[in-house]
Structure 1
Amino acid sequence: MSPSLDLLHAAPLALPDHVRLGRDSGVLGTIDDPAVTLAIWERASPLPRPDLAEFPALRFAADAGSVAAKVRAALADAVPQDWHDGLARDVETLARLYATLTGEDRVEVRIERVTGNGCWKFHADYVALRMITTYCGQATQWLPHGADPQSPPRALAPGDVGLFKGRERAGDRAIIHRSPPIAGSGEDRLLLVIDTEWPDRG
């Protein structure tokens, strides 16, 4: 059997005990299990592969129910794109879900086109819970507990929604992850990060 066929028929990697994976958003609720540090909602990206050349970096705090309006307002001066409204609606859907899971009414939203190697080193976030999705391009990479940082990482797929438990809730067991290093490749990514509102916001 050729190497390519060996790879094709290889058994899938076992899912670590501290990670939950599901095709319904309900899987994200498993993050409340003390043993779970990463919950992944598998889904296809709701956006087409857009041209991100003129996409501005967006960052704001808002009530979860007003996130779509905030995204639309922030994009009002950008060149109109058919997918902007779909993006606004999906970000609000995820913000509402995050607010329900955390019990926080207000959220911090960051949406940006990534072309370089920001956050390319493996790390754990100094937050309680962080929601991450990559609408297009390579998605966030993560390591099982105890894995050698030099070992091949696992990765979310574009569209997947990951709920990452940080050091505030998991201490030394917080999930280790990074942004895929893409500098010089010509690739880009559209990244969404949702947190609870940062304390310096007034």
Structure 2
Amino acid sequence: MSFIQAMAADLQQAPSKSVPHVVFGTHPAILSAIRTPAITLAIWRRRTPESFAGWIANVDLGAIEDLRFETSVNMLQDDVRDGLREAGYPEHLAREALTDDIAALARQLAKIAEEDHVVIRLEVVEDDACRRFHADYVTARLITTYAGPGTQWLGQTDAAAHAAGAPSSALAINCVSTGHVGLFKGRLWAPDTAIIHRSPPIAASGTRRLVLVINPGREERVSQARQDTP
């Protein structure tokens, strides 16, 4: 199947009638739809290999260091591999699979955003630090959750209700499933319609999440954009 055929097949599934600004698909090409002005979230509903998911589930996340680094597209594979090793991920064939997955997602995001650098974060989350609904001051942000519950998001109607003061209990809260990949449009590409999302509240549950977040471009540009935005 060609790229165009795959994209066409996926777009037949989405956007949904209830949230026309969000697209879903089973091919990675669906993520490119984020460049469509009306689309604010693209979700790749992928299938994670069982051996990979099983390894992640058995990693002692309490013994793992968080990763955050900027790298060029040309150095992705080596930098991710070194980072996982230094962070304490145990040596295993699945660690190399995780390296490949992170590098592939970062390359895809860089291509979509037309950037040659990315900022990668791989973090163990066990609190409610980002539990408030918000939009990011980036062009776009790729998020996938390898373990634990995935990122929650709101359709535009509920986002407007939230902005008007509606409590979370009154909102239809959606979720990017564990293992699926979400590409979230930020305020730099959509100042007024960026996708509203949050980390799921987990502090009271004792749950841990392993979350990959990738921003396109250099970190200094993202930080400057945040400072320049009122």
TM-score (norm 1): 0.87
Higher helix share: 2
Once the 2 structures are TM-superposed, how far is the Cα of residue 199 of structure 1 from its aligned partner? Answer: 1.6
Superimposed CA distance per residue, residues 94-130 of structure 1 (whole angstroms, 9 cap, x where no aligned partner)? 0110011011011000001111112110000011111
Q: Which runs of no fewer than 5 residues in structure 2 stay unpaired?
A: 1-15, 163-167, 223-230
Q: Which runs of no fewer than 5 residues in structure 1 stay unpaired?
A: 1-12
Give 1:104's match in structure 2, choosing from 115, 131, 135. Answer: 115
Identity of aligned residues (%): 41
Once the 2 structures are TM-superposed, how far is the Cα of residue 15 of structure 1 from its aligned partner? Answer: 4.3
Cα distance in 2, alignment partners of residues 109 and 79 from structure 1: 16
- The 8 Å contact of residues 140 and 215 in structure 2, kept in 1 or not, is answered as yes
Give 1:57's match in structure 2, choosing from 42, 55, 66. Answer: 66
- The 8 Å contact of residues 98 and 131 in structure 1, kept in 2 or not, is answered as yes
RMSD: 1.8
- The 8 Å contact of residues 41 and 162 in structure 1, kept in 2 or not, is answered as yes
1:80 to 2:100 alignment: no
- In structure 1, the residue matched to 2:42 is 39
- In structure 2, the residue matched to 1:22 is 25
Once the 2 structures are TM-superposed, how far is the Cα of residue 74 of structure 1 from its aligned partner? Answer: 2.0
Judged with a 3 Å threshold, the aligned counterparts in structure 2 of structure 1 residues 116 and 45 are, in CA distance, closer, same or farther, namely farther
Query: Per the alignment, in what secondary structure is the counterpart of residue 157 of structure 2?
Result: coil
Give 2:202's match in structure 1, choosing from 182, 186, 194. Answer: 182
- In structure 1, the residue matched to 2:131 is 120
> Which stretches of structure 1, 4 residues or more, deviate above 6 A after TM superposition?
none
Cα distance in 1, alignment partners of residues 101 and 74 from structure 2: 12
Query: Per the alignment, in what secondary structure is the counterpart of residue 162 of structure 1?
Result: strand
Superimposed CA distance per residue, residues 51-109 of structure 1 (whole angstroms, 9 cap, x where no aligned partner)? 22211100101112422311221233426242322111100000110011011011000
- In structure 1, the residue matched to 2:192 is 172
- The 8 Å contact of residues 89 and 95 in structure 2, kept in 1 or not, is answered as no
Query: Per the alignment, in what secondary structure is the counterpart of residue 103 of structure 2?
Result: helix
Superimposed CA distance per residue, residues 159-193 of structure 1 (whole angstroms, 9 cap, x where no aligned partner)? 11111111111111000000001003111111001
Judged with a 3 Å threshold, the aligned counterparts in structure 2 of structure 1 residues 144 and 67 are, in CA distance, closer, same or farther, namely same
Cα distance in 1, alignment partners of residues 23 and 84 from structure 2: 34
Judged with a 3 Å threshold, the aligned counterparts in structure 2 of structure 1 residues 22 and 185 are, in CA distance, closer, same or farther, namely same
Superimposed CA distance per residue, residues 28-62 of structure 1 (whole angstroms, 9 cap, x where no aligned partner)? 11111110000111012353223222111001011
Judged with a 3 Å threshold, the aligned counterparts in structure 2 of structure 1 residues 158 and 167 are, in CA distance, closer, same or farther, namely same
Cα distance in 2, alignment partners of residues 38 and 200 from structure 1: 22
Judged with a 3 Å threshold, the aligned counterparts in structure 2 of structure 1 residues 86 and 15 are, in CA distance, closer, same or farther, namely farther
Judged with a 3 Å threshold, the aligned counterparts in structure 2 of structure 1 residues 66 and 179 are, in CA distance, closer, same or farther, namely same
Give 2:79's match in structure 1, choosing from 60, 70, 81. Answer: 70
